[in-house]
Structure 1
Amino acid sequence: MTKKVNITTDAGADAMAVSEALSARIRLYRSQKKLSLDELSRRAGVSKGMLVEIEACRANPSIALLCRLAAAMGISVADIVNVASDPGVHLIQPEQIPVLWQGDHGGSARLLAGTSGPNMVELWQWQLFPGEIFTSPGHPQETTELLHVTAGTLLLTVNDDVFTLAAGYSAVAATDVPHSYACAGDTPLAFTMTVHENAR
């Protein structure tokens, strides 16, 4: 039985290719770090059974789960999805950019690029359609997100504080607490986001 933790890409062959790549890279990094399933489970706060399902490509990890696994292994999500940059210039072709979340009405989150290692910076492109919302339980301590709305209206909730950002507005948010992004209004929402995480 296939467990769906999150819809990670468009349906079909692309989704399977991304799932297989994620599974392979998680196995690779766990092996390189010499971590048993039990130890990674303990560090990430994820059940061993879920890790087995992910590594066997029978479960699709959510963005939040990818963040926890990456932090536990001392790498970045960009390392796992293979869009991390090495020193110098690293070009990423459009077809290499993965969709890591898909909303019920066609919205998406794409990890455009990121740096390697635990002190990481990531660049994301988000699109949400009316009625869509993405929720996160919170990232590791001292994670900061910079957001810029390019179209529509973003309803940003951080803990119990709610902020409405129209097109052209930007925000800086500490996201080591529960937070969410929602499309407010009747038009599609588009925003770019940079995530900075400090390893402790």
Structure 2
Amino acid sequence: MSDLDQLTQSLARNLRRWRGERGYTLDGLASRAGVSRGMIIQIEQARTNPSVGTTVKLADALGVSIATLLDQDQSPTLRLVPEDQAVRMWSTPAGSSSTLLVGTEQRGPLELWAWKLMPGDTSTSDPHPVGTTELLHVEEGTLTVAVDGHDHTVPAGTSAVFESHVPHGYRNDGAEPVRMKMVVSVPPHP
């Protein structure tokens, strides 16, 4: 079984599990997530690989991290995630990418990300649930963070924190690649 097949199976299994634990019907989850009922059925039957945006919407609607939806094996004690098991969520032909390194559900979903943005590349995000916070640290390059229509320049060696329940995104307006680490903290599901 390929890595993509394993990821598809894990997502299907975990989406069914969390939807059941939350007591959501297919229609209820579709309404909360803004994703069609048919798409949810296809995902739960492992017949499709949804976009990053769809996966984020489903995770947000369920109040879990993306790591939880994609995780193949969650251990109750220490869980190691080798580099080859980190989940590449998006990439561009220019070489930009974001990789989910690890996540947890303790006191609400918490995710650690590694990002690389090539010159000229952009990544935008829909608003997350109220109470979601993003922390980032730029290791190389100069990052432009757009938060609710306002641009902020974050040079190498600088950290930033913001509430991400508003439209936001990341841009590399410079000539050098940007490398950063980011932590996303989502409030616990009610």
Structure 1 and Structure 2 fold alike (TM over 0.5):
yes
**3-state SS of the aligned residue for 1:109?**
strand
1:120 CA displacement: 1.5
1:100 CA displacement: 0.9
How many corresponding residue pairs?
A: 188
With structure 2 as the length reference, what TM-score do the two structures score? 0.86
Is 1:44–2:33 an aligned residue pair? yes
**What are structure 1's unaligned runs of at least 5 residues?**
1-12
Aligned CA RMSD, in angstroms, stands at: 2.4
Specify whether residues 83 and 147 from structure 1 end up closer, same or farther in structure 2 by C-alpha distance, changes over 3 A only.
farther
2:63 and 2:187 in contact (8 A); partners too:
no
Specify whether residues 93 and 142 from structure 1 end up closer, same or farther in structure 2 by C-alpha distance, changes over 3 A only.
same
Is 1:191–2:167 an aligned residue pair? no
1:17 CA displacement: 4.2
**3-state SS of the aligned residue for 1:25?**
helix
- Looking at structure 2, the residues matched to 41 and 54 of structure 1 have their Cα atoms a distance apart, in angstroms, of 12
Specify whether residues 182 and 19 from structure 1 end up closer, same or farther in structure 2 by C-alpha distance, changes over 3 A only.
farther
Which of 142, 146, 153 is the matching residue for 1:164?
153
Alignment of 1:76-115 (within 5 A): 76-82=65-71, 87-115=76-104
- Looking at structure 2, the residues matched to 150 and 40 of structure 1 have their Cα atoms a distance apart, in angstroms, of 38
With structure 1 as the length reference, what TM-score do the two structures score? 0.82
Aligned to 1:179: 168
Deviations 1:113-172 (A, max 9, x none): 111267111100000111211000111101111110001111110011101111111111
**3-state SS of the aligned residue for 1:123?**
strand
**What are structure 2's unaligned runs of at least 5 residues?**
none
Which of 109, 124, 128 is the matching residue for 1:120?
109
- Looking at structure 2, the residues matched to 165 and 85 of structure 1 have their Cα atoms a distance apart, in angstroms, of 34
**3-state SS of the aligned residue for 2:60?**
helix
Specify whether residues 62 and 128 from structure 1 end up closer, same or farther in structure 2 by C-alpha distance, changes over 3 A only.
same
Specify whether residues 188 and 70 from structure 1 end up closer, same or farther in structure 2 by C-alpha distance, changes over 3 A only.
same
1:90 CA displacement: 1.5
Aligned to 2:10: 21
Specify whether residues 183 and 58 from structure 1 end up closer, same or farther in structure 2 by C-alpha distance, changes over 3 A only.
farther
**3-state SS of the aligned residue for 1:140?**
coil
Percent identity of paired positions between Structure 1 and Structure 2 = 38
Q: Letter of the aligned partner of 2:104 in structure 1?
A: T
Is 1:148–2:114 an aligned residue pair? no
